[in-house]
């Protein structure tokens, strides 16, 4: 079976750093994606991890530990526009299983 | 270039009616996915097409749901005898290649389906 857990909600302050965790127990693993979804809009790709370690892309970084079934998305220098839902997705043989998403609210 | 296009953007219908949702993937994308997203929830996998291979239908919730794809182009998701619990946003996504790939999925804006 597939099980992906993320916190439901998080709140952070503009300019700060926030870490959104994702843990998974899946029957197979090819890689892990993070997507951003603003309210009422489609998800958009943020990052992809296939090997253990940190992938950095500007203000966003994503970390993976396959042995622990754990990933996190790190958002630096938070901006108001970062208020959105962040979805963790594990892929196996082409199929992606998504977590329920973490709704991040950035406050001034 | 054009992104993933879905139609209609909104659909309101009466319980018991059939509905057909359409997805035009990005040209050249061999993989196509359908998801359902209920309000405040994550994406629920429905079906996955990869090139000419047999589709992975393991996520379809009942035999009222079916989907087709012609080659590597348009796909239609059909829901027969709709029920109120079918109300959700139906998202389509495509990617360059699905299996064992690091290609991200590109999503359409979805069809918001409301069953009265």
Per-residue confidence (pLDDT) for residue B97, from 0 to 100? 77
How does residue A61 score in pLDDT terms, banded at 50, 70 and 90? Answer: very high
Q: Average model confidence (pLDDT) for chain A?
A: 94
B88 reaches A (C-beta below 8 A): no
- For A50, the closest of B33, B102, B110 (CB atoms) is B102
**Does the bond joining B113 to the residue before it have cis omega, within 30 degrees of 0?**
no
Inform me whether the pLDDT recorded for B100 exceeds 70.
Answer: no
Rounded CA-CA distance A76/A54 in Å is 14
When mean pLDDT is compared across B40-49, B64-73, B92-101, the lowest value belongs to B92-101
CB within 8 Å: A98 and B100: no
Q: Nearest residue of B to residue A42 by CA position?
A: B109
**Higher per-residue confidence, A36 vs B102:** A36
B107 reaches A (C-beta below 8 A): yes
Q: Which of residues 38-57 of B touch A (CB under 8 A)?
A: 41-45, 48, 50, 56
How does residue B91 score in pLDDT terms, banded at 50, 70 and 90? Answer: very high
Residue range A51-57: average pLDDT? 94
Residue range A82-104: average pLDDT? 92
Per-residue confidence (pLDDT) for residue B72, from 0 to 100? 80
CB within 8 Å: B33 and A96: yes
CB A61 within 8 Å of CB A54: yes
Per-residue confidence (pLDDT) for residue A50, from 0 to 100? 92
Rounded CA-CA distance A30/A16 in Å is 32
Rounded CA-CA distance B43/A99 in Å is 7
**Higher per-residue confidence, A105 vs B99:** A105
Rounded CA-CA distance A9/A39 in Å is 14
CB within 8 Å: B48 and A41: no
Across the beta sheet with A70-75, what order do the strands follow? A3-5, A18-25, A70-75, A60-65, A53-57
Q: Average model confidence (pLDDT) for chain B?
A: 92
Per-residue confidence (pLDDT) for residue B99, from 0 to 100? 67
When mean pLDDT is compared across A68-77, B30-39, B45-54, B96-105, the lowest value belongs to B96-105
Per-residue confidence (pLDDT) for residue A104, from 0 to 100? 98
B42 neighbourhood in chain A, CB within 8 Å: 87, 98-101
B102 neighbourhood in chain A, CB within 8 Å: 31, 48, 50
- For B45, the closest of A31, A43, A97 (CB atoms) is A97
How does residue A2 score in pLDDT terms, banded at 50, 70 and 90? Answer: confident
Residue range B68-74: average pLDDT? 88
């Amino acid at each position: 079976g597939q099980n992906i857990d993320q916190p439901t909600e998080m709140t952070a302050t503009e300019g700060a750093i926030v870490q959104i965790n994702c843990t998974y127990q899946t029957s197979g693993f090819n890689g892990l994606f993070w997507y951003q979804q603003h309210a009422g809009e489609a998800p958009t790709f943020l990052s992809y991890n296939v090997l253990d370690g940190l992938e950095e892309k500007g203000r966003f970084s994503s970390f993976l530990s396959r042995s622990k079934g754990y990933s996190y998305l790190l958002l630096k220098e938070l901006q108001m526009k970062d208020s959105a839902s962040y979805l963790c997705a594990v892929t196996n043989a082409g199929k992606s299983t998504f977590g329920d998403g973490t709704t991040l609210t950035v406050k001034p | 270039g054009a992104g993933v296009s879905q139609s209609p953007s909104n659909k309101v219908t009466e319980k018991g009616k059939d509905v057909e949702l359409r997805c035009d993937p990005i040209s050249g994308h061999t993989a196509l996915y359908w998801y359902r997203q209920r309000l405040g929830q994550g994406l629920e996998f429905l079906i996955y097409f990869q090139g000419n291979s047999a589709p992975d239908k393991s996520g379809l919730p009942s035999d009222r749901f079916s989907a087709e794809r012609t080659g590597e182009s348009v796909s239609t998701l059909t829901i027969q005898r709709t029920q109120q619990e079918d109300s959700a946003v139906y998202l389509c996504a495509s990617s360059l290649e699905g299996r064992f790939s690091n290609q991200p999925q590109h999503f359409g804006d979805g069809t918001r389906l409301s069953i009265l």
